[in-house]
Chains A and B, each alone.
Chain A
């Protein structure tokens, strides 16, 4: 087995453990490359099926191609697709693009709060109806106790401390100093009522691994990752107002891989284009403690 085979098998093993051990489980899908690879791994783990609902937090500021790509794959791959959002803040126009909040405050509401309340069922969920091609209000308000997330350890400091199965308490708090041990392919699958577990099948993957796997498996990616003739492409996706494309002429998966291996990005962090990482030294860790993925 080569490097990618090993990563693949480990991730599939974790996905299957999660599926067997948690009754109410979901997978967060941002439509970005990492969580799309994770979704692909689920298709591999379950032999072409995806028996786990996919949850997307729609800030409403997503780059439009992302939503199109989401619904296209949801249909083609027969996905149980769910989305949630902070309807109140959006209705009141209380967002960063509207000039009423800072970057971090905006992420805190449209991502963190929306995620927390979508997962625990406090806020509305919308589920894709494959017969009508419409999203419909979902009756199921049960809290998810297992949440599968596509975080990678190499993304930034705080993620390097995650476990494959990381507990979060009632308030979504993550006690970094007191995490359960994890060894011999045994994970934290027992949890106290009211708490939930984040599951990270991609923890050992690097950005390059992800792209090489996309190349090997021919996984369909949203076109934003590739230069469409403007000399720019996105390296990391998020909300349109806060995510900048990078200068690059890489127009295919092969060219992206080549650029990461030898080109100008081989030593520049992936999240360089994301505003919220820069506002304060511990910004992301703070957001993560609050439940941000």
Chain B
């Protein structure tokens, strides 16, 4: 058979309730289109003969021992197959509830889905659940195959009843199925050939249906988005390019365009589009794993989202409302910290609120649940430990999706429906504006770090009153200064009568504005390449988060001095006993060496 090449292939998922015949339909398609390797059919028949069981088309897929023992598909195996029109990669999704996460894995990679329903058993729990998951995963082309028509004597009324019941369900979750087809996978009716047993049906066969699915077009006409995977500077062979690398998930970018990175709000202009072993490009296209260089040496890290200044900005927030499905063994609860990943960014996330929990198998709702169990779907609010850039579900799907990691495993997925205000929103707006307007120096951050032989860092020393914070800070400054470091001790009082003079005597509590200004001053000192030592009384986590909104969180080290920890601060180092400023400052210096901020002598 002539293999199709150069054309678009299509990834197709086959979903549905357990034992409704998904694997049989695939096996039948493989056999009827001559897609099997020579000898495969014979080999499987031989295995059946040896094990004294009747041959089934489903066995063609069950290449693994584990699976055959249980007789059910446990994972989404990939099967390659082709019609005269194009090549398909079929993902056979397991129908057993235990393996919903495998079904999700298969379905998420698909451009189209066949949902299989057993004519005899009718619509079952996972027929509905899988339908719901397909819609959440963003699969738009869904067709429903009513299988095992042979078991109901090819009865049109049975078929029509299922079509009506399931159409009603799909409409409730806003899915418009492309079509329904009556089929017998076992006998091959309406799979590759039109069935003689159902003269009342004049629609497509399964194969005709597959060839009528469209390849999903990538969103090239939406605003440009590229989550930054990394910034590469490989200097081998004298390469001095600094390349922002990533995969463009929507829109287009041209050489000369002004790009803005979020959540930082930093901007520059595209100097070149880079590649290896390919012609020089002037336009960067959606879907391509690519990279570009910038006119200016702005400091960007993995996790930022590149966008264009002449298009709509992404949302930036540390609180989100989302529609979520949960696959974790442990329920999703409010008292635990999770990792949330969007694109290439990650943050710590706490479940703040559960608006409602939906049972995807029957659409029943519950507004009083305090946790989200495995296989539930829910509307929730998450609070993040730092701001992230994203889009809303209706705007750009690719950048509205996130996953939750619990205990090292991806345990759930969600789609962001709203960006909510958070405590730091007012500060963040100012910071983004500052970054956007920032006048760029000719000296890069790396060059400064190399020159001074240190990484610029804010060292925050906190604790109760009178535990020796200031003597420690001053001793640390002196110690690092004597080592030849560029270091500065900034006393809070030194700000109060200068930078803060206008708000010093206000009636309002200006604590947050004081903090913001301290953080802005720190930001300047850090940009100048310095190590800055600051003391503060009983810093809280919320205070730190405000500072982290203004100063790059990776450039902050916090030390709690004194036995009593009186706030919720998540510090980097705890020194319970103030022995002497000499000893304590030496301990802090050790921390800076451990973190690679300054180097330990050989």
Residues on A with C-beta less than 8 A from B236 are 49, 78
Interface size range on A against B: 35 or more
What is the number of contacts between chain A and chain B, taking CB atoms within 8 Å? 169
The answer to whether the Cβ of A31 comes within 8 Å of any Cβ in the partner chain is no
User: A252 CA to B1 CA in the complex, in Å?
Assistant: 22
**Known interface pairs A181-B410, A192-B408; 11 further A-B residue pairs with C-beta atoms within 8 A, sorted by A's residue number:** A1-B287, A13-B229, A17-B229, A20-B230, A158-B64, A177-B75, A177-B99, A182-B105, A190-B408, A208-B3, A261-B3
The answer to whether the Cβ of B526 comes within 8 Å of any Cβ in the partner chain is no
Task: List 18 A-B residue pairs with CB atoms under 8 Å apart, sorted by A's residue number.
Answer: A3-B7, A6-B287, A9-B247, A20-B230, A47-B243, A48-B234, A49-B232, A156-B63, A161-B75, A180-B409, A181-B101, A181-B410, A188-B409, A203-B78, A208-B3, A217-B277, A266-B3, A268-B38
The answer to whether B234 and A176 touch across the interface, beta carbons within 8 angstroms, is no
The answer to whether B63 and A184 touch across the interface, beta carbons within 8 angstroms, is no
The answer to whether A47 and B75 touch across the interface, beta carbons within 8 angstroms, is no
The answer to whether the Cβ of A113 comes within 8 Å of any Cβ in the partner chain is no
- CB neighbors of B among A97-140 (8 A): none
The answer to whether A179 and B75 touch across the interface, beta carbons within 8 angstroms, is yes
Q: Name the residue on A nearest B249 (C-beta).
A: A185
B214 CB to nearest chain A CB (Å): 15
The answer to whether the Cβ of B89 comes within 8 Å of any Cβ in the partner chain is yes
Q: Which of A38-46, A85-93, A222-230 contacts B (4 or more CB under 8 A)?
A: A38-46
The answer to whether B109 and A183 touch across the interface, beta carbons within 8 angstroms, is yes
User: A212 CA to B274 CA in the complex, in Å?
Assistant: 24
The answer to whether B5 and A268 touch across the interface, beta carbons within 8 angstroms, is no
Residues on A with C-beta less than 8 A from B239 are 47-49
The answer to whether A160 and B410 touch across the interface, beta carbons within 8 angstroms, is no
Residues on B with C-beta less than 8 A from A153 are 78, 80
Interface size range on B against A: 35 or more
User: A282 CA to B339 CA in the complex, in Å?
Assistant: 38
The answer to whether the Cβ of A60 comes within 8 Å of any Cβ in the partner chain is no
- CB neighbors of B among A161-191 (8 A): 161, 163, 176-177, 179-186, 188, 190-191
A residues in contact (CB < 8 Å) with B:
1-6, 8-10, 12-13, 16-17, 19-20, 43-49, 51, 78, 153-154, 156-158, 160-161, 163, 176-177, 179-186, 188, 190-192, 203-204, 206, 208, 212, 217, 260-262, 266-269, 281-282, 285
The answer to whether B65 and A285 touch across the interface, beta carbons within 8 angstroms, is yes
The answer to whether A160 and B78 touch across the interface, beta carbons within 8 angstroms, is yes
Q: Name the residue on A nearest B247 (C-beta).
A: A13
The answer to whether B1 and A1 touch across the interface, beta carbons within 8 angstroms, is no
The answer to whether B105 and A163 touch across the interface, beta carbons within 8 angstroms, is yes
Q: Name the residue on A nearest B37 (C-beta).
A: A269
- CB neighbors of A among B240-271 (8 A): 241, 243, 245-247
B residues in contact (CB < 8 Å) with A:
1-3, 5-9, 36-38, 47, 63-66, 74-80, 87, 89, 99, 101-102, 104-105, 107-109, 137, 218, 229-230, 232, 234, 236-237, 239, 241, 243, 245-247, 274-277, 285, 287-289, 291, 302, 327, 339, 341, 343-344, 401, 403, 405, 408-410, 413
User: A153 CA to B218 CA in the complex, in Å?
Assistant: 25
The answer to whether A191 and B108 touch across the interface, beta carbons within 8 angstroms, is no
Which one of B78, B99, B275, B339 contacts A47 once the chains associate, using CB atoms below 8 Å? B275
Which one of B5, B37, B74, B291 contacts A267 once the chains associate, using CB atoms below 8 Å? B37
The answer to whether A182 and B64 touch across the interface, beta carbons within 8 angstroms, is no
Q: Name the residue on B nearest A16 (C-beta).
A: B229
> With A8-B289, A261-B5, A269-B37 in contact, is A176–B105 under 8 Å at CB?
no
The answer to whether A44 and B277 touch across the interface, beta carbons within 8 angstroms, is yes
User: A4 CA to B4 CA in the complex, in Å?
Assistant: 12
B108 CB to nearest chain A CB (Å): 3
The answer to whether B77 and A160 touch across the interface, beta carbons within 8 angstroms, is yes
The answer to whether A282 and B229 touch across the interface, beta carbons within 8 angstroms, is no
Q: Name the residue on B nearest A78 (C-beta).
A: B236
User: A50 CA to B374 CA in the complex, in Å?
Assistant: 41
User: A102 CA to B136 CA in the complex, in Å?
Assistant: 51
